[in-house]
Amino acid sequence: MRTPKKRRLYLVIACGLCLSAAVGLTLAAFSSTLTFFLSPREVVSKHPAEGLSFRLGGVVQVGTVQTTLSGETPTTHFAVTDGRAAVPVMFTGVLPDLFREGQGVVAIGSMGTDGVFHADEVLAKHGSAYMPKDVEQSLKEAGKWDPKFGPPPDASSWNTMPEKTGS
């Protein structure tokens, strides 16, 4: 009782399964190269060769940002962490607006002989939670969230809370 329609349907399903399996296996095999950046832990365990260009991603460790001005251009020293390891970074130039302690960043550069990551470019990663400034302030004042120390709490606890009026 195999009508042409049924046969074609099974054929499409079989092709779909094969293709999905092939793509899935390929993605799994290449998953490390599909990653846009290495985390500090991966940098510590893999020891990329000095001078080899790669991207380092993580969070700007709280209390490590030091900026010194030499002439016109600022040089900033900070550490990038993923909570388990930290890599010191040096960058000369103007940082993006969103750069702050606790901010996710991706730095492009290479490790120097001094064990410091010399960044040629720093990109800022931003969060996926959207809220007005007032709501963020209220959460901060209530001690429920400090943007320096990670993402906001469970969305249902704030996405409909009343906006702070006056102060």
Partner 1 sequence: MNENVQTIGLPAKTGGWLHYLANPGRFLRTIRPILPWAGSASFILTVVGIVWGYQFAPADWEQGDAARIMYVHVPAAWVAMAGYAALALCSLFSIVWRHPLADIAAEEIGPVGAGFTFVCLVSGALWGKPMWGAYWVWDARLTSVLILFFLYLGHIALIRAFDNKAHGYRAAAILALAGAVNLPIIVYSVQWWNTLHQGNTISISGGAKIYVTMLYPLLICTLGFYLGFLTMVCARIAAAICERKTASLLLAAVERG
DSSP state of 112: -
Q: Is 129 in the site for partner 1 (CB under 8 A)?
A: yes
Which residues, numbered 72-91, are part of the site for partner 1 (CB under 8 A)? none
- Residue keyed to tokens 């990109």: 123
Task: State the DSSP H helix or E strand holding residue 28, giving kind and residue range, or none if neither.
Answer: helix 4-29
Backbone angles phi, psi at 109, to 5 degrees: 170, -150
Please state the closest distance from residue 153 (CB atom) to partner 1, in A: 10
Q: Is 19 in the site for partner 1 (CB under 8 A)?
A: yes
Q: What tokens does 1 get? A: 């009782």
The region of 44-52, 67-75, 84-92, 126-134 touching partner 1 under the rule CB under 8 A is: 126-134
DSSP state of 38: B
What single letter denotes the amino acid at residue 8? Answer: R
Residues near partner 1, by CB under 8 A: 5, 8-9, 12, 15-16, 19-20, 23, 27, 31, 34-39, 57, 96-98, 106, 121-136, 147, 152, 154-156, 158-160, 163
